[in-house]
Structure 1
Amino acid sequence: MQAALLGVTLGAPAALADDLKIAVAGPMTGQLANIGDQFKQGAQAAAAAINEKGGIKGRQIKLVIEDDVCDPKQAVSIANRIVAEGIKFVDGHACSGSSIPASAVYAEAGVLMMTPASSNPDLTEAATKKGWSTIMRLYTRDDGQGEFVGPWIAEKYKGKRVVILHDKGAYGKGLADAVKGKMNESGLKEVLYEGINAGDKDYSALITKLKDAKADFVYFGGYHPEAGLILRQAADQNVKFQLMMGDSIASPEFWAVAGKTGEGVMFTFPANPQARPEAKAAVEKIKASGFTPDGFTLFSYAVVEAIAQGVERAGSDDAVKVAAALKDGKPVNTVVGAVVFDEKGDIKDAKYDINVWHDGAYTAMKP
């Protein structure tokens, strides 16, 4: 797919040799294009804000938008193209199943990849074991979500019939397994553990299994297209249960698919970034453009901010030096708050909310 080069400032000239190029890689088309749009909107807003203040020591940020459709093969393909074009920094990818294979391409070329969404721990764990220093994550990890919500489920639904579902993907299965493990450690055992096929349109056999299992609570590691269909088809069969998911449904697209069957669905997400004082100006500007910065928008914004600060801190655009500078233990100031990266390239001390969908919008549950 053709890459799009964005000047991000009104009337900006074509990219110059001394411009700092950042590739924004995610699903710009396909079923998860809403996530790609969040990436793009966040990165564009961040680049514009930085460029308006003079850029990075006079260098303007230019974004190159790449579409991986959340497909592993396409992710590797565009990673190779990004490397071939001499781009040293990547804001992406989104799906863990794309980020993990693409990371090998970036690591070999010494490109800094910082994902604002991929949560499978293997991304940074494997990179660390292999000595890849330029693979980073400005987002939370599945094991962190599991530690947060697994014990909560065990306490809240003690004595209830709990089902764990996943979509067999790196993100969905990884998250479901993390939650299942901590829930089991806290004393609650599921009555059914089941993988589904992402992209299916008929989940009637699954609904029958949920009915036979007399499910009270279902935790699903997956994405909004499948979740919405499962809810609608369960409602058609008058099968009722409480659904909970991970961060993938922090988007109006979930409600667009699920409709009223999405009422009361719960999900975990990093503590509301839009409510942070650091995000106020950015949120206002993004909303003024006609876009609501839900989901991963502000995390993508924060990745661009982090890369910019890393270049300034390192005094160089050498990606290896920038990664080292970002891992020096000092806070990096972003719209999602001050973050500190550990030696693996993950952020420390991530905080979470449990959110609930109601009438087409979601809000954090009160403690």
Structure 2
Amino acid sequence: MRRPLALAAALALALSFPAHAEVLIGVAGPMSGKLAWTGTQLKRGAEMAVAQINAAGGVLGEQVRLIVADDFCDPQQAVAAARKLVADRAVFVVGHYCSGASIPASKIYAAAGVLQISPSSTNPTLTEQGHANVFRVCSRDDAQGLKAGNYLADHWGTKKVAILHDDTTYGKGLAEETKKQLNKRGVTEAIYQSYEPGKDDYSAEIADLQTAGIAVLYLGGYHTEAALMVRAARERAFPVQVISGDDTATEAFGLIAGPAAEGTLFTFVADPRRNAEAAEVVERFRAENFEPDSWTLHSYGAAEVWAQAARKAGSLEPHKVIAALRNHAFETVLGRIDFDEKGDLTVQNWVWYVWKGGEYVPLE
């Protein structure tokens, strides 16, 4: 059963809004470091949403101002970023990107009564904690791992499978969910181990897999390391099939991997750029020479949902907005959004993609 927002925190936050003041919201993610490409997507998505909201008259007559926080995809930095956003009186936060950042940050927002909607944190723990103020507009890793485990069993059940992860909340969690389903299907992986993230070269790890006769490698981790691994495999003429998760859905993977990206498989949510509801917004991004791939439109959609919920609630007070989120459906660039009692999407939708000709496309 959900715990209600702390009354004192909610009232204090509500009383902090002077009449006719601008409304402050935050976007938090890795704005620097190896995942800065993704942080830029979150920032651009939120910026575009705020611009569109303000152009349409704001929210309940108030203009919206965006505050950007850099969490470096690091748990401690995420807590610091969350505290800063709370201190700045943000009423709502789009973020964080990494599950390992979102989960500790969520405790800060919960204590302060600040609404958090993650566009991209997929680890189940985020919404299993029972915080009433936490939502996400992406699907969960237990559903993603189920799809990946079944695919491995169906297509490589008689071959040698390796599962590697980077030991992060996201990477390890996704690898464990995939392994769990693979094992349920009666297939035991030949190798299950972690690798050190942040290295410049993974040729030694790939050489070990080649020596072991691995046919398919499942990677639980981020796109930077995945790209370096597929490059190392192709440089050794090692025809291992590389499969990974949703973080592979970014142009940065293709830029790092180069031609070696070809044929890499991964799961990602249904690409919102293909939604009719998103066509106008996608064109606005492209007019600015920015391709809204990966989680850009999810960041936009998170802000869009908040604005719609505030209008339905007739209030900017977080506990009233949260009630509206639970009691209404929302039409967004991501399509129709309904939340369950945990703050998750009622429909989990993972799709297979393949890197082909320098871009990722749905697997036929």
- TM tier, shorter chain? over 0.9
Question: In structure 1, what is the equivalent of residue 83 of structure 2?
Answer: 80
Question: In structure 1, what is the equivalent of residue 34 of structure 2?
Answer: 31
Which amino acid counterpart does residue 326 of structure 2 have in structure 1? K
Distance in 1 (alpha carbons) for counterparts of 2:63 and 2:185:
51
Aligned with residue 348 of structure 1, among 346, 349, 356: 346
Aligned with residue 358 of structure 1, among 356, 359, 362: 356
Give the TM-score of the pair, scaled to structure 2: 0.92
Distance in 2 (alpha carbons) for counterparts of 1:57 and 1:84:
23
After superposition, residues 149-164 of structure 1 pair within 5 angstroms as 149-164=148-163
> What is the CA deviation profile of residues 258-316 of structure 1, one whole-angstrom value per residue up to 9, with x for unaligned ones?
11111100111111211111111111111111100100000000000011011112222
Distance in 2 (alpha carbons) for counterparts of 1:320 and 1:70:
28
Q: Percent identity?
A: 44
Does 1:108 find its partner at 2:107?
A: no
TM-superposed deviation, 1:240: 2.3
Distance in 1 (alpha carbons) for counterparts of 2:265 and 2:203:
22
Q: SS of the counterpart of 1:355?
A: strand
After superposition, residues 182-331 of structure 1 pair within 5 angstroms as 182-328=181-327, 330-331=328-329
Q: SS of the counterpart of 1:86?
A: coil
Question: In structure 1, what is the equivalent of residue 334 of structure 2?
Answer: 336
Distance in 2 (alpha carbons) for counterparts of 1:24 and 1:176:
28
> What is the CA deviation profile of residues 146-180 of structure 1, one whole-angstrom value per residue up to 9, with x for unaligned ones?
12222122111121111111000000011111111
Distance in 1 (alpha carbons) for counterparts of 2:290 and 2:201:
33
> What is the CA deviation profile of residues 122-142 of structure 1, one whole-angstrom value per residue up to 9, with x for unaligned ones?
01102x1xxx21011111110
Distance in 1 (alpha carbons) for counterparts of 2:318 and 2:211:
54
Question: In structure 1, what is the equivalent of residue 12 of structure 2?
Answer: none
Which amino acid counterpart does residue 114 of structure 1 have in structure 2? I
Question: In structure 2, what is the equivalent of residue 4 of structure 1?
Answer: none
Does 1:50 find its partner at 2:53?
A: yes
Aligned with residue 124 of structure 2, among 121, 124, 130: 121
Unmatched 5+ stretches in structure 2? 1-18
TM-superposed deviation, 1:250: 0.9
Q: Select between 167-176 and 206-215 the one with higher mean Cα deviation.
A: 206-215
Which amino acid counterpart does residue 345 of structure 2 have in structure 1? I
Q: SS of the counterpart of 1:268?
A: strand
Give the TM-score of the pair, scaled to structure 1: 0.92
TM-superposed deviation, 1:321: 2.1
Q: SS of the counterpart of 1:327?
A: helix
CA RMSD of the aligned region, Å? 1.4
Distance in 2 (alpha carbons) for counterparts of 1:199 and 1:17:
47
* Over 4 Å off, 4+ runs: none
Q: SS of the counterpart of 2:25?
A: strand
Check the 8 A contact 2:60/2:314 in 1, yes or no.
no
TM-superposed deviation, 1:216: 0.6
Unmatched 5+ stretches in structure 1? 1-15
TM-superposed deviation, 1:72: 1.1
TM-superposed deviation, 1:17: 5.8
